[in-house]
Structure 1
Amino acid sequence: MGSLHAAAVSAAQDAKLEPELLELVRIRASQINGCAFCIDMHTRDARGQGETEQRIYALNAWRETPFFTERERAALALTEAVTLVHDGHVPDAVYAEAAGVFEENQIAALIWSVTVINAYNRIAIATRMVPKN
Structure 2
Amino acid sequence: MQLRMKHAEANPGAFQTMLQLEKFIKTSGLDPKLYELIKLRASQLNGCAFCVDMHAKEMRKMGESEQRIILLSVWRDTPLYTEEERAVLELTEAVTRIADAGVPDHLYEKVRAHFDEAQFVTLIMAINTINCWNRLGIATGMFPECNH
Same structural fold, with TM-score higher than 0.5 when normalized by the shorter chain: yes
Describe the SS at the equivalent of 2:50: helix
Q: 2: CA distance between counterparts of 1:68 and 1:103? A: 20
Following superposition, the deviation at residue 91 of structure 1 comes to: 1.2
Cα deviation digits, residues 90-112 of structure 1 (max 9, x gap): 11111110001111111111110
Unaligned runs of 5+ in 1: none
Following superposition, the deviation at residue 33 of structure 1 comes to: 0.4
Letter of the 1:37 partner, please give it. F
Using the size of structure 1 for normalisation, the TM-score is: 0.92
Give the direction of change, closer, same or farther, for the CA distance of 1:85–1:102 in structure 2 (3 Å limit). same
Q: 2: CA distance between counterparts of 1:5 and 1:28? A: 20
Q: 2: CA distance between counterparts of 1:31 and 1:5? A: 21
Query: 2:45 corresponds to which residue?
Result: 32
**Aligned length in residues:** 132
Cα deviation digits, residues 11-56 of structure 1 (max 9, x gap): 4533x22100000000000000000000011111111111110000
Instruction: Please identify, of 44-53 and 2-11, the stretch whose mean Cα deviation from structure 2 is larger.
Output: 2-11
Matched, 1:58 2:84: no
Query: 2:57 corresponds to which residue?
Result: 44
Following superposition, the deviation at residue 72 of structure 1 comes to: 0.4
Query: Superposition RMSD on alpha carbons, in Å?
Result: 1.5
Identity of aligned residues (%): 46
1:40/1:131 contact within 8 Å kept: yes
Unaligned runs of 5+ in 2: 1-14
2:21/2:129 contact within 8 Å kept: no
Matched, 1:118 2:128: no
Flag the structure with larger Rg.
Answer: 2
